Structure 1
Amino acid sequence: MEWRDQGILLTMRRHGETAAIIDVFTRAHGRHAGVVRGGASRRIAPILQPGAQLDLLWRARLENHIGAYQVEPIRSRAAAAMSDRLALAGLNAVTALLTFGLPDREPHDALYQRSEQLLDLLGQNDIWPLAYLNWELALLDELGFGLDLRNCAATGSTDDLIYVSPKSGRAVSRDGAGDWANRMLPLPPVLRGVGPAPDSEVAQALGTTGYFIENRLAPALGNKPVPEARARFIQAFRRRL
């Protein structure tokens, strides 16, 4: 069996003396691992950096085998990631969350395209945190935990939406929250795509998306711990506020 596809390299680890096992988020085949013969060599190892865009040829005798990859670089994102601490932390957060959340060999074409577009913005620190926030919203939506922020869960109103219900992931208005307001999560305008999206709002919104990653997505994945790379990115981002 064989197929050809493009993909974003998520992880690489040595396998034996000279080979490597890579985990790649591919456009048509989802998150898919395979062996790269010679992948630990001086010639190929520099290509196999997290975030790299690769052209992939996968072969295996049977579909359920791990199989072997032949790889050709399309573009490296290492230079952009190494440009500063925020960019590197952001790249690590994206690859870690994709590894954490994606099921094996299940296509997610829309999320793949969003991920590729996000990583192509690495180094553009004026717009990257907002793009990352929107990517986290897309990740939650793709994996079945999307937020519904169109109207108030309690009243149906579209006015004065300032909270998110931690139980339903739906928006709640000031009046709709009532005595439960202190149990709600914040809904800054940026989460609804409204307003100028200052960094302070983006940071607040990442606290809300982080709640659903930790308390909804992680339990659905067998209570795997949320990757620390996300917390390191949030910390690096908040340093600049």
Structure 2
Amino acid sequence: RRHGETSAIIEMFTPDRGRHAGVVRGGTSRKIAPILQPGAQLDVIWRARLEDHIGSFQVEPVRSRAVVAMADRLMLAGLNTVTALLGFCLPEREPHHRLYVQSEHLLDLLEQTDLWPLAYLRWELSLLDELGYGLALDACAVTGQQHDLAYVSPKSGRAVSRDAAGEWADRLLPLPDILRGIGDGDDYEVAVALNTTGYFLGRHLALDRGHKPLPEARARFVEAFNRRLQTP
């Protein structure tokens, strides 16, 4: 975002310092502004007089993903969703190295439009797990059985078998196999799974942020993905 007449404040997701903001001097200039795009990979040096100051970034471009994302509307929506959720969910300066590596790998797949939605779904599961809200989908919460798992409890985030669900089935969330890491699934199965992960993102992460709604970017991505399902 703009800061003063010529500078910009940017947020980086870094491997060892998590989400980290800083000022880029001349960040609105024709030379620097084009490299300060969502999803861009940068080398940065951060300087501040005190550790708790916002400080300033010296930036050097490594690679841009904007051109790749803009070639496909769904991929652009996906890129915006990843960056929006990271900015929304992560506490400032709290390291999340594993999530950083997974996020980098996900954005490197933007050219592979057929694979990306499933990769994104798995990233959402990792995001929930990283922030302490991982789903327990290996066994039924009621019987302990590990077969015929068809639902997820919206309260506990645990799997429920078809038999155990009984008359409560319509109050549970669907559990497609790909949420358990079984098979690759098709786009329809991914869409069903995104509804389930979206529920828990909204319930837990939005609650942690003072009941703020999830970034609209995610809803736009899901909408664009559903439109692709309907295209013959």
TM over 0.5: yes
Aligned to 1:125: 113
Q: Does 1:145 align with 2:133?
A: yes
Deviation at 1:196, TM superposition (A): 3.5
For each residue in 1:178-230, what CA deviation from the matched residue of structure 2 results, as whole angstroms up to 9, or x when unmatched? Answer: 22111100001111111341000000000000000111221122111100000
Q: Does 1:226 align with 2:214?
A: yes
Q: Does 1:34 align with 2:22?
A: yes
Map 1:133-172; keep pairs closer than 5 Å: 133-172=121-160
Map 1:31-180; keep pairs closer than 5 Å: 31-180=19-168
Secondary structure of the equivalent of 1:149?
A: strand
CA separation in 2, counterparts of 1:206 and 1:155?
26
AA paired with 1:37? R
Aligned to 2:8: 20
Aligned to 1:6: none
> Percent identity of the aligned residues?
71
AA paired with 1:125? T
Work out whether residues 8 and 26 of structure 2, in 8 Å CA contact, stay in contact via their aligned partners in 1: yes
Provide the TM-score with structure 1 as the length reference: 0.94
AA paired with 1:126? D
CA separation in 1, counterparts of 2:71 and 2:108?
13
Aligned to 2:172: 184
Secondary structure of the equivalent of 2:138?
A: coil
Gaps of 5+ in 2: none
For each residue in 1:152-172, what CA deviation from the matched residue of structure 2 results, as whole angstroms up to 9, or x when unmatched? Answer: 000000010000000000110
Provide the TM-score with structure 2 as the length reference: 0.97
For each residue in 1:130-149, what CA deviation from the matched residue of structure 2 results, as whole angstroms up to 9, or x when unmatched? Answer: 00000000000001111010
Gaps of 5+ in 1: 1-12
Secondary structure of the equivalent of 2:198?
A: helix
Large movers: runs of 4+ above 4 Å: none
Decide which moves more: 193-202 or 145-154. 193-202
Residue of structure 2 aligned with 1:215, choices 203, 215, 220: 203
Q: Does 1:236 align with 2:219?
A: no
RMSD: 0.7
Deviation at 1:123, TM superposition (A): 2.5
